[in-house]
A = this chain, B = another copy of it.
Amino acid sequence: MAGHVLALAGGVGGAKLALGLARLLPPSALTIVVNTGDDDEFHGLHVSPDLDTVTYTLAGLANPETGWGRQDETYRVLEALGELGAETWFQLGDRDLATHIRRSDLLRQGRSLSAVTAELSLRLGVRHAIVPMSDERVRTVLATDAGTMSFQEYFVKQRCEPAVQSLRFEGAETARPSPGFVEAMAKATAVVLCPSNPFLSVAPILSLPGVRERLALGRSPVAVVSPIISGEAVRGPAARLFEQLQGEPASALAVARYYRGFASHFVLDERDAALKGSVEALGYAVTVAQTLMTSDEDKVGLARMVCAALGVNV
């Protein structure tokens, strides 16, 4: 079937599958909606880490070593900012800073985050639609045993060490999904939850008014690509958050339980093939695939499996 795929993504893991999907599908057949709960201000500049990771990845400019930021990066500005008394725990490379400077400038001129994201990604050579989940401010705030903090404070400054007690997405009750997101929800024939952190990357997107309802109408299948392989997160704090927030050890099965009743399809890693029956018992159509994406071939290969599972012609 000719159709339209709506992919929901956070940062690194989500960007990898988004790249695979973008290599497989024409721009007209894919919308990548990205979490902005991690957005923050540094030095008065609006930083959108997940949008940038997805954009840089699709543009072929991402730093393969760090997972964030741009390749061939230098840190001259940050070094000088430190000399001037600014806090520099949030690493911002020089080329990456240009993105934040330009974004902030255009936002202050009254452009929407959607318009700015489209402009920046186009300038970097990206032809597929990368869309912020909302043009309005949503901020992930974590209550932890070390106090309440922003996502970046938790993730970067505190290195995910504090135990998380609860999460809230400040502003999400009233923030409208962006126009591109609304349009993609209306025309999507398949939805993919990329292998991003369920609590910190996907939940903020699903928390926006009407999103869960619109995607759960049953018209389009929703596939989850498990971000947990062999009980561990490929990257980031997803595994420990299953323990801290759900009170159970991380596993692909725990991911399946988390999305039960919302998603219809589940993509399990080969190493978790033994869980297939248990995930099916939760009502999912299960695909077993190599979900760890190292090379670009891995990314396209996984995207192909996901599309096949969802009946999307490629």
List residues of A whose CB falls within 8 A of some B CB: 43-45, 74, 76-81, 83-86, 94-95, 97-99, 101-102, 104-105, 108-109, 119-120, 123-124
Contact = CB atoms under 8 A, between A and B. Distances in A.
B77 A101 contact: yes
Contacts of A95: 76-77, 79-80
19 contacts: A43-B105, A44-B101, A44-B105, A74-B74, A74-B94, A76-B94, A77-B95, A77-B97, A77-B98, A79-B98, A80-B98, A80-B99, A83-B98, A84-B123, A84-B124, A85-B119, A86-B105, A94-B94, A97-B101
B74 A86 contact: no
A103 to B, nearest CB: 9
B94 A81 contact: no
B123 A102 contact: no
Contacts of A123: 83-85
A80 B94 contact: yes
Contacts of A97: 77, 80, 97, 101
A112 to B, nearest CB: 16
A120 B44 CA distance: 16
A102 B81 contact: yes
Contacts of A109: 44
Contacts of A78: 98
Of A74, A101, A120, chain B has the most CB atoms within 10 Å of the CB of A101
Given A77-B98, A86-B101, 5 more contacts: A44-B109, A78-B98, A84-B102, A84-B123, A85-B119
B104 A81 contact: no
A98 B120 contact: no
A124 B98 CA distance: 24
Contacts of A99: 80, 84
6 residue pairs, one from A and one from B, having the closest CB atoms: A80-B98, A44-B105, A76-B94, A80-B95, A81-B98, A84-B102
Contacts of A94: 74, 76-77, 80, 94
Contacts of A80: 94-95, 97-99
Contacts of A124: 83-84
B76 A101 contact: no
A101 B44 CA distance: 8
A83 B119 CA distance: 11
Contacts of A45: 101
